[in-house]
Every structure is written in structure tokens, then in C-alpha cells.
Amino acid sequence: MDTTGYAFVTGGASGIAKAVCVALAKSGARGILVADINLKGADQTVKDCQASSKNADFHAEAIEMDVTVENSVKAAIQRMLKVFGRIDYCINGAGILAEYASVNDASLESFRRTIDINVQGTFLVLRAAATAMASQKSILIDPTLPQRGLTRGSIVTLGSIASFIALPKGAPYVAAKHAVAGLTKSAAMDNIANNIRVNCVCPSFVDTTMMRGLFELAPSMKQTMENGLPMGRLALPEEVADLILFLCSPRSSYINGGIFTVDGALTIGPHANV
């Protein structure tokens, strides 16, 4: 019932996707291909995974990949299949924050870049991974409970609370993350017959390198943000990774097309900290 298969992870050089890679290694995954435009960071993730792995046969590799370039995505998927033979889990972790500007002031260049990486990138990886999964052999999800059926793989996309709500001066990012949620639902519907599940995880504010970079530019932002969070702190990347691993695992065999928040109750309504 563990995640002991082979994983393809985009954006794995840092942040949530890196936490997913390490968590997969700890959970007994047999192999991981870490795909990122930052090859040096992806190489470091591979080293961290190797140090954390609980599987004697574990193997991990890094590959440079640009999610906005179709041939780059195809090449990474082909490498995954050549090295590991199949894709059991695909985690779409690559993404960027957008220009901090109102919809009236946001530049078209920033909007296009945000859509290219967060939406087009998710689409290209989704399509390539689902196509590869659909052609591979189905396996029994749980031999002790065969009623769970068969699987060819599980895909998890990375949304955001911005998949549900608007954020001030964040129109490009909000538009992109709403689109990721829609892509996830469509991909889940289109791949049910292929025994492929597709779900989306939507965190709020997470303590990542990207977020810490924002805090360096605006030191007061961290405290202001934490004061506005119901649980009084940012999420840990590992906390988001926990849900992603669950959605990859046989334990979520009847969960498909879901959009799940990891937001510490932020989106449920007004709370005492506001």
C-alpha cells in the first residue's frame, strides 16, 4: 500500500516538488526522475533522495527540462521510460509566481509568462505523462483487496488557493491556477477509462525558497502574512508533500478529479486572526 513505484517530478529542484521527491524516496519509491530547468538544483535533489531512500534498489536521475517547450517535455518523458520502463506517479510541481500588480497594471508579458509556465507547462506534462501511462500495462492496485481495481498511474497537479479565490494584485496567477484546476478535472474525466487518476493539490502560503525570496524584498510581509493565517504560520513543503503522496498511493484509489486545499483553513471563511 506504499508508493514504491517510479515517479516523474517536475520542478523538483526546490520547494514543494523537492519535498515530494525526498518523501517518495523515504517511502520506498524505486526510482525518481527529477525534471527541472535548474539542473544543478535537480542534481542536489537527487543526492538528497539517495541519502533518504529506504529502498536498496533505489535509483534517481536529474534532467534539464523546460515545461513550456513541447520537445523538452517529450524528451524528459522518453528518458523516464528508457530508464525506468514506466511512470507510476507524475507530479506537476513546476511553476512561478506572477508580477505583483493589479489587473489594470499587469503587463501582457508577465501574464503570458505566467500562463506559459503554470498552464501550458502543466498541460504539456499532463498530456505527455497520461499518453505514456495509457500505453503501459495496468497493475493490480491492491492484491489483498482486488475490488480496488487496476491502475496505470496517478497524476497530481499543483494548484493553489488561487484556484479557488482571488488574490489582491495577482490576476495572472489567479487565472493560471484556476486553469490548472480545470485542466485537472478534464484530464481526470478523459483518463478514467485508461485507469489513470488525476488530482490537484492547492496549498496556501508555503515556506519555500521562492516565498523566502519575497520576504527578503519585503521583510514585513512574513509577519503580516502569518498574522492573517488561521493557524498562525506558513505551511511546510513536507505538509503539502504528504497529501501528494497520499494521492499517488493505493489509499486514494477511489479519489479522482479532486481539487484539494492544504491551506490551514484559510479559504473556509473569516477567522479570528483577521
* Residues classed as catalytic: 173, 177
Q: Are 89 and 8 in contact (CB under 8 A)?
A: yes
Q: Are 7 and 61 in contact (CB under 8 A)?
A: no
- 100-103's contacts with Cβ under 8 Å and 24+ in sequence apart are 100/169, 100/170, 101/169, 101/171, 102/168, 102/169, 102/171, 103/171
Q: Give backbone dihedrals phi and psi of 209, rounded to 5 degrees, phi first.
A: -60, -40
